[in-house]
Amino acid sequence: MSIKKSDTRTRILDATLALTADGPGSGLRMADIAKRAGISRQALYLHFATRTDLLVATTLYVDQLKDIDARLAPSRSAASGPERLDAYIEAWGNYIPEIYGIARVLLALKDAGDEEAAAAWTNRMDAMREGCAAAIDALKAEGRLSSDNTRSQATALLWTLLSVRNWEHLRLDCGWSQKAYIDGIKTSANRLFVAPEEGI
């Protein structure tokens, strides 16, 4: 029974991902997801009590599919604060294009006043902010955090620099390549947050 339940859950998550990839998603409904997954709406609610639960689970499912832990490993094992900062920017910045489908849906729903989507988006962005805080904390622990910003300010600024909306603006609206985006964010972050080593 547990295997069947797991298979159904996976079908639901795959259906949600497929629907987010198909269009802007501002009208994403539980009924559409159930139909795409080939189950009844009642069966869908047995697995996910609310759309917020489903959307959060879908983002976590993408993390699993894309092996986010492996992507973050270089940042977590970096030998210095500046290396951790650069590695985190590379990990998250290169992850955005892969989650852009579900991110775009959540943002569209959030902007339309959907409280469930807003809650799901906040859940995931809080997790990303923790990664930003860890990178800033690594700089601070080594005495390499620029005195221009407090820890809190630096974390908020890095979080903003790495937002999906900024990626969307630079990549899609301004036509930057993915490499130019990563290089630009790394250069900006280093100028903002990394103090020179003593004696240099």
In DSSP notation, 84-148 reads: HHHHHHHHHHHHHHHHHHHHHHHHHHHHTT-HHHHHHHHHHHHHHHHHHHHHHHHHHHTT-B-TT
Kindly tell me if the per-residue pLDDT of 4 is higher than 50.
no
Look at the pTM and tell me if it is higher than 0.85: no
Average of per-residue pLDDT across 151-175? 97
Task: Say if CB 194 and CB 139 are below 8 A apart.
Answer: yes
Kindly tell me if the per-residue pLDDT of 199 is higher than 60.
no
Residue type, 51: R
Closest to 36 (Cα-Cα) out of 54, 19, 55: 19
| Residue 184, both tokens | 């630009």
How sure is the predictor about 28, in pLDDT bands with cuts at 50, 70 and 90?
A: confident
- The pLDDT > 90 percentage for the chain reads 65
| Residue 68, both tokens | 């986010």
Residue ranges and CATH numbers for the domains of the chain are: 2-54 (1.10.10.60), 64-193 (1.10.357)
How confident is the model over 61-78, as pLDDT tens digits? Answer: 988 998 988 999 999 999
How confident is the model over 122-132, as pLDDT tens digits? Answer: 888 998 999 99
